[in-house]
Amino acid sequence: MKRNRLLLSVIIVIFLNCSLKAQSYGENAVFLKSGSILYGKILEENPGKDLKLEIIGNNILVLPYNDIEKIIKSEPKSLSGEYRSSPIEISPAYSFYGGTTNSQGFTVISSYYFPFHMSTGLGLGVEKFNYHVLPVFAELKYSMMCSQVIPYIYGHFGYAFPLSKSSSDANAEINHGGILAAGGIGIRKNFARQNAFIFSVGYRYQKLRTNSDYNYYWGNPDYSVEKIDQLKRISITIGLLFNN
């Protein structure tokens, strides 16, 4: 437990540090002949005359072109070192869920990345809790810009459908699955032009409902019992991300 808290604390520190760095980075870098570097959004560019740049704090600077040594724009590579040939991303991942009984699962998420660092997607997979389920969920994620290491926060919401139904000669159990929700923070480490490693720590909620019919003789059940489990687990996820 202490190890999980320490790991979570380290990720939070990195996330906050990169958040502050992201505020000082704009979409473009303007290198001046004086040696200064300005980061911001280019509002207007008149080659040979001047350049209008919006920097942090919504301040607008008009720079004479003679004072500019070079300009590095966000396309095709952002200042974070992150390449994107397409807004579509696919992420297969393996998750461990801690608790009284350890669980695990494999999921694949297909998402669309927006220019303002937000992405939305749909995911599905196979997971094992009290029984095997098929999770189908929506994802919302916000990524920060920080060199080759990009922290992010995420949220999931959906439903887990049962993949197994257990029964015996006299009794029957019917699994119904239930809603799921998750949230956490993670780190993305780019290792190729279109690929990255991902690692995250978060919280996972899973509701599972099971109906049990108890029969002492063949025929109608003597009585039925509905069991509802509300599982609350710490999740650790590792995986890959591919930018198509």
Query: How is the chain split into domains, by residue range?
Result: 2-72, 88-243
Mean pLDDT lowest among 24-28, 47-51, 121-125, 192-196: 24-28
Helices marked H in 2-137: 2-24
Query: pLDDT tens digits for 46-68?
Result: 888 899 988 876 788 899 989 98
pTM above 0.85, yes or no: no
**Cα gap 242→88, rounded to integer Å:** 9
CA angle 96, 15, 202 (to 5 degrees): 20
DSSP 95-120: EEE-SSS-EEEEEEEEEEE-TTSEEE
| Spatial separation of the C-alpha atoms in residues 32 and 71, rounded to whole Å | 9
Is the dihedral angle over the CA atoms 115, 120, 125, 127 positive or is it negative? positive
Q: Which fold would CATH assign to domain 88-243?
A: Porin (2.40.160)
Q: Note the pLDDT tens digit of each residue in 157-208.
A: 999 999 977 655 556 778 889 999 999 999 998 876 668 899 999 999 999 9
What is the architecture, at CATH level 2, of domain 2-72? Roll (2.30)
